[in-house]
Structure 1
Amino acid sequence: MSRRPLHGVFIASHAIAEGAITRKQLRSLGYRRLVQGVYADPGIGLDHRLRATGVALLLPAGTAIGGHSAAAWHGAPFAGLHDPVTVLRPAEVRWAGPRGVRVHRTVLAPADVDVVEGVPVTSPLRTAWDVAALEPLGTAVAALDAMVRRGPVTTAALMSRLEGAAGEWGVTRVRRAFGLVDPRAESAPESRVRVALVLAGLRPVPQFHVLDGGEFLAKVDLAWPEAKLVVEYEGAHHFEAEKIIEDDRRYAVLVAAGWRVIRLSAPDLRDLDSVVRRVRDALDA
């Protein structure tokens, strides 16, 4: 057969029963299984949002995609491809979900749920609360930074939500995460590094504009202007040939102006305690 008979995301048993696809085609044409019983056309890019879209096909009424999974619809970075898809359910709905789904029982009002592109996801403010309550602090703040930066929620709305929230589930974790939000952060790794440094008492200035004699030299991820120290996180694109040359020139200009540069990459995120020590030593020096 020269073309795939079915596109998009679908429940296999339904598609087979309707004659849209056969079991043989499901196996032979390379359809991706997102979770048990749900498949996607292999031509669609596979990420956490696609997996959450697949899970949404299985959801009983009254439930919704929530937490870090819903944050992808509200301007935050996607959760990892293999991270569990978060689903919220009220107490009266009994549903455990397939493997790869994390179900959280909670109070879920109709006003807490939006339908986006056919998928029931928690509203931006409700998503922000659940991300802060359910996720590790660095992960939560990274998602919240992005949501505030891109506009679905504001810092004022987060603080207002905390008013009168004493005694609510997760409020201690939420208050801590909301207090660390800074929409100046431009990437999730930058947010995670900043949180680790702030918790260690080393509070940097995000997205600092370095000037020398009134002349603009560079915008850097994190800076301690008095110490003339900067921390730069370099994502994968920084290791492309042209970007390497551009970065080297940029850092040479900073060093010539008396600034010190600590360069970080993905492996450093696995040991943020070491990053904190490097920064502290540089500041002490």
Structure 2
Amino acid sequence: MSAHRRLLPGVFLGSAAIAEGYLTRAQLRRRSYRRLVHGVYADPGLPFDHRLRCRGVALLLAPGAAIGGYSAAAWYGAPFAAAADQVTVVCPEEVRWRGPREADVHHTVLQPGDVVCIDDVPVTTALRTAWDVMTLEPLTTAVAALDAMVAAEHVTLAELVSMAQRGSGRWGVSRVRRAVPLVDPRAESPQESRLRVCLRLAGLEPVPQYEVLHRGWFVARVDLAFPDERLAIEYEGAHHFEDDQIPRDDARLDRLRAAGWRVIRVSVSDMRDLDALLARIRAALTGAPGSH
């Protein structure tokens, strides 16, 4: 890629831009270019997200290395990594490259078919990304990413199951085989996925995105449900506390209660004390008073 393309538009090596006369060092500072990685800059008008950070790291990659794992998942329907998070890089075992401090480099076996080029960025394929996400990330984070990747149709559940079955002897296969049965593309947010996984690991079996009907009429679709107990679990992200959303949520809650359902509303603070949250849900399932 030429320095011209690196600079116009978007992401470029500062040294290359200066050497080829596009900028002086003073101009690089004065024009407020965004520094992505040491020596790599971006047009400040570009949205600053994790993929932009990945593009910066990609300009420094050693031959054969690629953006992988949770970072690569951003190209496959799971853009959950934050802009400032370290960029996951997978690198062939024989290439002793450590990368910049903004990169988390994993030396591993990379097959010729494991890497594709998307928008001039070397990225692991969807299936290889899925494997690395499951082996490198905490279980709930991995399942949330895989839920989104399957929902976006970049991988299928059948492909994940087959990959887990064929992975005998491969590093991380036990983690893959633990994660795959928990994947469910019906989830509509990362936190909903994480909450469902926590419930599943506790031996509970909620139904995701359950449609509540009352006397044949649609009442609401709830994040997670225990239909026999008429108990709904709703994860409430930041948008639920916006002014125009609050009355809609209250009206929806009234409709569910009128239909004979109980609702446990879960916030990010609840997720920080899972033992207390699980105790609350178990109490509601057994009908304990004051548990919802």
- TM-score range normalised by the length of the shorter chain: over 0.9
1:31 — aligned with what?
33
Q: Percent identity?
A: 63
2:271 — aligned with what?
269
Q: Pick from 199, 207, 210: which aligns with 1:208?
A: 210
Task: Tell me which moved more, 164-173 or 270-279.
Answer: 270-279
Rounded to whole Å, the distance in 1 between the matches of 2:47 and 2:57 is: 16
1:138 — aligned with what?
140
Rounded to whole Å, the distance in 2 between the matches of 1:174 and 1:102 is: 20
> Structure 1 residues 269, 16: closer, same or farther in 2, change over 3 A?
farther
1:221 — aligned with what?
223
Aligned CA RMSD, in angstroms, stands at 1.3
Matched to 1:101, the amino acid is A
> Structure 1 residues 237, 195: closer, same or farther in 2, change over 3 A?
same
Rounded to whole Å, the distance in 1 between the matches of 2:32 and 2:175 is: 43
2:46 — aligned with what?
44
Q: CA deviation at 1:241?
A: 1.3
Task: Provide the secondary structure at the position in 2 that maps to 1:268.
Answer: helix
Q: Extract structure 1 runs of 4+ deviating beyond 4 A.
A: none
Rounded to whole Å, the distance in 2 between the matches of 1:236 and 1:268 is: 14
1:233 — aligned with what?
235
Tell whether the 8 Å contact from 2:214 to 2:259 is kept in structure 1 after alignment: yes
Tell whether the 8 Å contact from 1:49 to 1:78 is kept in structure 2 after alignment: no
Q: Structure 2 stretches of 5 or more lacking a match?
A: 1-6
Task: Provide the secondary structure at the position in 2 that maps to 1:179.
Answer: helix
1:22 — aligned with what?
24
Q: CA deviation at 1:71?
A: 0.3
Task: Tell me which moved more, 76-85 or 94-103.
Answer: 76-85
Q: Structure 1 stretches of 5 or more lacking a match?
A: none
Q: Pick from 151, 161, 164: which aligns with 1:162?
A: 164
Q: Pick from 90, 99, 112: which aligns with 1:110?
A: 112
TM superposition score normalised by structure 1: 0.95
Matched to 1:36, the amino acid is H
Q: CA deviation at 1:28?
A: 2.1
Matched to 2:77, the amino acid is G
2:4 — aligned with what?
none
TM superposition score normalised by structure 2: 0.93
Task: Provide the secondary structure at the position in 2 that maps to 1:221.
Answer: strand
Q: CA deviation at 1:269?
A: 3.1
Rounded to whole Å, the distance in 2 between the matches of 1:240 and 1:102 is: 36
Task: Provide the secondary structure at the position in 1 that maps to 2:219.
Answer: strand
> Structure 1 residues 93, 211: closer, same or farther in 2, change over 3 A?
same
Q: CA deviation at 1:281?
A: 1.9
Residues paired across the two proteins, number: 281
